[in-house]
Amino acid sequence: MFGKTSKKLQTIIGEDSEFRGEVNVKETVRIDGFLEGDVRADWVIVGETGRIVGNIDSRGTVVGGTVEGNIDADEIVELKHKSRVFGEIRTGKLAVAEGAVFEGQSRMEKGKEAEGAADGKVMRITSSPLSS
């Protein structure tokens, strides 16, 4: 994930933080708190205490916490053993650890060249399957 061409972690939403709104980061964002809104970043890391209610658009995403929304990642999505994802995943590679919870559909594609296909487009969600 953090190879020679990748940049370092730039943005953190801490464990006791709440943020509502859209997040656009050119590099890596780590979410350990609560975020309600869409995230666009090169890499997105959702820590074990992190929760996103919104969609993620990235090159790669690692989920250790909860995502209630769709994940659209060009390269890879990794679901750690304590992760919970409720939504659709579109990515080139999908890794799911034993114990991870994934409710939704996944579509494996190489990059975004197939994005124009009507049946391959991840639909935007408008409401959360879990309310709190």
Burial of 45 (0-12, 13-18, 19+ CB in 10 A): buried
Please check whether residue 105 is in contact with residue 87, taking contact to mean a CB–CB distance below 8 angstroms: no
pLDDT of the residue at 132:
47
pLDDT tens-digit profile of 47-61?
999 999 999 999 999
Confidence band, pLDDT 50/70/90 cuts, at residue 12: confident
Please check whether residue 46 is in contact with residue 67, taking contact to mean a CB–CB distance below 8 angstroms: yes
Which among 78, 74, 127 has a CA at the least distance from the CA of 100? 78
Report the C-alpha gap between 101 and 84 in whole angstroms: 5
Residue type, 86: F
pLDDT tens-digit profile of 59-71?
999 999 999 999 9
Domain boundaries, the chain: 9-107
Residue type, 30: R
Please check whether residue 52 is in contact with residue 31, taking contact to mean a CB–CB distance below 8 angstroms: yes
